[in-house]
Amino acid sequence: MRVRKLTTFAALAVAASLSLTACNGDDVASGDSSSASSSGGAEQSGGQDTAGKDSGGEQPGPAGKDSAGSGSGSGQSGKGGKCRTDDLDITASDSTIDGDTDGTVAVTFKNGGADCGLSGFAGVDLKTSAGDISATRAGQGASPMTLKSGESVSFSISYPINDSGGSGVKVTSLVVTPPGETKSFTTEWPGGGSLPVTDGSGSSVKVHPIGSAGQGGPQ
């Protein structure tokens, strides 16, 4: 009986030991699994946060929008174009000096618009009883100049004085076309009432460069 009891006790002890070992193994495995799962979850969450930051930080704004906007403004030129007939107040006056062999008419352009450019010669035609007379150019054309808003510049027209005693060729009006323009301006002729009759070999009326009357430049 004693031997059986001892054997039975030993068997129970072994079984208890095995049970405790199994329970300890389950606890360790369960802890490792929980730790691994927690660590993996943290790493995954961290990866999403990092990816989100990288994606948001590296995304550029609309390419070239600011440059295009500023470039568009800087693409416009600050210089004015050529002076237009409609923007000019055109007047003519007799400026003949006593004793001169030729008569002189001064034509003035006053700029009533934005700053604009002038150069060369204006077109000049006289309406007469014998038909139109186109003035020929005399001298070198004026260098390019800027006529600012409100400024004036003048040029001169020279013509022969009729001292023949005859009626000559009666002048009725003056037609002026600014340089580079096609639209003309017609005004009264302020010079001598008539020109001497010529043989038709060439125009006796001369137009001088812009700035050739007065002080020679914009005033």
pLDDT in tens, 162-174: 887 778 899 999 9
Distance CA 195, CA 193 (A): 7
pLDDT at residue 18 tops 90: no
Burial label for 56, CB within 10 Å (0-12, 13-18, 19+), is exposed
Alpha helix locations (H) across the chain?
Answer: 2-58, 65-74
pLDDT in tens, 103-133: 999 999 999 999 999 999 999 999 999 899 9
Query: Which structure tokens are listed for 61?
Result: 């704004």
